[in-house]
Amino acid sequence: MKNKTALITGITGQDGAYLAELLLEKGYEVHGLKRRASSFNTDRIDHLYEDPHKKGRKMILHYGDLTDGTNLIRVLQQTQPDEVYNLAAQSHVQVSFETPEYTADVDGLGAMRLLEGIRLLGLEKKTRFYQASTSELYGKVQETPQTEKTPFYPRSPYACAKLYAYWITVNYREAYNIYACNGILFNHESPIRGETFVTRKITRALSRIFLGLQECLYIGNLNALRDWGHARDYVKMQWLMLQQERPEDFVIATGEQHSVREFIELAGKALGLAIRWEGEGIHEKGINMANGKTIVFVDPTYFRPTEVETLHGDPTKAKEKLGWEPEISFESLVQEMIQADLEESKRDELCQRAGFRVNQHNE
């Protein structure tokens, strides 16, 4: 039997990298959409890279962009995929308040362009479609914990765009019988998480503070509550969802909730840093108990115009129908992220001592 072919948009992102790895292990031919950038942007998948001059490659990258419909149709036509995973997005909630139109175009219309491409090319019966939907759809939550039936109340341009993508996926399933489904994924993290999402920002900053490369961490809402899982566990579900008899939407979450503050405390603990909190609101500070230095400051720059205060998922349907359980605990996730960032910071420290410039980003 011929091996399956998959097309992953967003292959250079966190989930794209883990999913590409998983599908290659399963024997798929993996095609990925990458954006043209002024420098190499494939760090996360470089270990899977194959020389474009080599015959019989299993991973092939195509230039493209979700805002460019004709490009998407061409890539779909060339690759004739059995499965499309639409992971590409302007995925930062806070940035979406600054780039609402672009975010709507990529995250909302982008999904429609792919679905319409599948239809125009007559691939409705062949191609299965996965849409990266999000717990941000619940926004101002109407029910706790959140299930597939909980009403949506988006609270950002990002979530509003993803709401369109969610419903257009349902609509193409119902209108044209395309095997299309939404994974409503709660936050998932890993050592290759983007550096400006809160978890990675914390593990990176604390590692650097620990080594003396950075003075402090500036943070926004310490009390936000999230249901954090590990990306490696979550991409398994993305694949599983496309292997069922009938297409359905699933919530993917751990069912456990923690605050940003707890994340900082646990990450500190993994480094042997005990943190004491002092003050309130925007004056709250995190103090290193070993030396009395303030290492965490609240900075309102990171507050959002409308915040999602709490998210807590109920993954019962995924457990019952797909036999899926997250395998990596919250504690192991934090530990793994700290270990990786400590390694990276040690490399930076060596470079700095040898007189080389290192990345000083602290957003």
Considering 79, 134, 199, 254, which one is annotated as catalytic?
Answer: 134
Select the residue interacting with ligand NDP from 61, 112, 132, 235 (CB under 6 A). 132
Q: What are the structure tokens assigned to 128, written together?
A: 């299965």
- In three-state secondary structure terms, 74 is helix
Q: What are the structure tokens assigned to 255, written together?
A: 């069912």
Give the start-end residues of each E strand in the chain. Answer: 5-9, 29-34, 59-63, 83-86, 128-134, 180-185, 188-189, 217-219, 225-226, 229-230, 250-252, 258-259, 275-278, 285-288, 294-298
Q: Which residues contact 245 (CB under 8 A, 6 or more apart)?
A: none
Nearer to ligand GDR, 116 or 262 (CB): 262
Select the residue interacting with ligand NDP from 5, 12, 103, 254 (CB under 6 A). 12
Contact predicate 310/304, CB 8 Å:
no
Residue nearest to ligand NDP (CB): 13
Q: Does 226 bind ligand GDR (CB under 6 A)?
A: yes
Nearer to ligand NDP, 198 or 275 (CB): 198
| For residue 145, cis peptide bond before it (omega within 30 degrees of 0) | yes
Select the residue interacting with ligand GDR from 65, 105, 124, 307 (CB under 6 A). 307
Select the residue interacting with ligand NDP from 5, 7, 10, 81 (CB under 6 A). 10
- In three-state secondary structure terms, 199 is helix
Strand partners, 288: 275
CB of 152 to ligand GDR, least distance (A): 13
Nearer to ligand GDR, 118 or 198 (CB): 198
Q: Does 91 bind ligand GDR (CB under 6 A)?
A: yes
Burial of 54 (0-12, 13-18, 19+ CB in 10 A): exposed
Reply yes or no on whether 134 is catalytic.
Answer: yes
Pattern of binders to ligand NDP over 88-127, x per CB under 6 A?
xxxx--------------x---------------------
Contact predicate 190/136, CB 8 Å:
no
106 binds, among ligand GDR, ligand NDP, none (CB under 5 to 8 A by kind): ligand NDP
Burial of 272 (0-12, 13-18, 19+ CB in 10 A): exposed
Reply yes or no on whether 189 is catalytic.
Answer: no
Which stretches of the chain bind ligand NDP, using CB under 6 A?
A: 9-10, 12-16, 33, 35, 37, 41, 65-67, 87-91, 106, 132, 134, 185, 187-188, 194
Residues known to be catalytic? 134, 136, 158
Name the site residues for ligand GDR (rule: CB under 6 A).
91, 93-94, 134-136, 186-187, 196-198, 201, 219-221, 224, 226, 260, 302, 304, 307-308
